[in-house]
A = this chain, B = another copy of it.
């Protein structure tokens, strides 16, 4: 059997999320169906992150086993023919049989996009959280530094602790303004430089793992910092409290993007 690794970008708007749900189309089922049509075999797709309904991906990673002899470039092309335009196969490659998209992930990069303008923008309504009030991005950037390192992040986990441990290590964080949305672009070279008066605020966070709704709760908490309701010290207090009720609201899903997944630190050393 071959083990195929896919890199996927998708617009999560019209899906119930990555995982198969009773109430609508899932990304997973849609891609599995395309694999079945292409190879003639049923497939089980494993993903790095199970994105929620409305959440997008620029670089989701998934893998599946197959007996097909179709070469990888034609797998990419062939799958795309069976997929709608809101799911794009960016890459397909043969990988070692031990590669597991879920368990092998060393770190993931999530981005949350806020469109901060007095007047709304019809083209970002499904792709950014529109907020018209003033936001102090410098304070938000300062406060998010509190998250760096290894902490018990259960204060940012929605509903109930659904993982064995709520300790995670956050490796990189930033909050900055951009004049053009650094979201719909794949390669790092396309990322624009920050712009002090830009309308797009991006919150970037790289960690070895994420709890359920963690990024969206961090965003809800930092929105209060941006509005000068809370400070970096409050964020520290909230983490130490280990209580979800202390943190801010869960920000809406449509501003969230799974940007990329790393399977080896060495690539980035």
Contact = CB atoms under 8 A, between A and B. Distances in A.
Contact of A121 (B80, B125, B184): B184
So how many copies of this chain end up in the complex?
A: 2
Contacts of A184: 121, 123-124, 181
Nearest to A11: B122
A120 B85 contact: yes
B86 A122 contact: yes
Contacts of A86: 122, 125
Interface string A100-133: 0000000000000000000111111101000000
Contact of A88 (B87, B119, B127, B181): B119
Contact of A179 (B80, B120, B190): B190
Q: Is the interface of A mostly helix, strand, loop or mixed?
A: loop
A235 to B, nearest CB: 31
Interface string A48-79: 00000000100000000000000000000000
Contacts of A124: 184
A164 to B, nearest CB: 33
B122 A10 contact: yes
Interface string A147-182: 000000000000000000000000000000001111
Contacts of A80: 120
Chain A, interface residues (CB within 8 Å), range: 20 to 34
Contacts of A185: 179-180, 199
Interface string A253-264: 000000000000
B9 A85 contact: no
A244 interface: no
28 contacts: A9-B122, A9-B123, A10-B122, A11-B122, A11-B125, A56-B122, A56-B123, A80-B120, A85-B120, A85-B125, A86-B122, A86-B125, A87-B122, A88-B120, A88-B121, A90-B119, A119-B186, A121-B184, A123-B127, A179-B185, A179-B190, A180-B181, A180-B182, A180-B185, A180-B192, A181-B181, A181-B184, A192-B192
Interface of A: 9-11, 56, 80, 85-88, 90, 119-125, 127, 179-186, 190, 192, 199
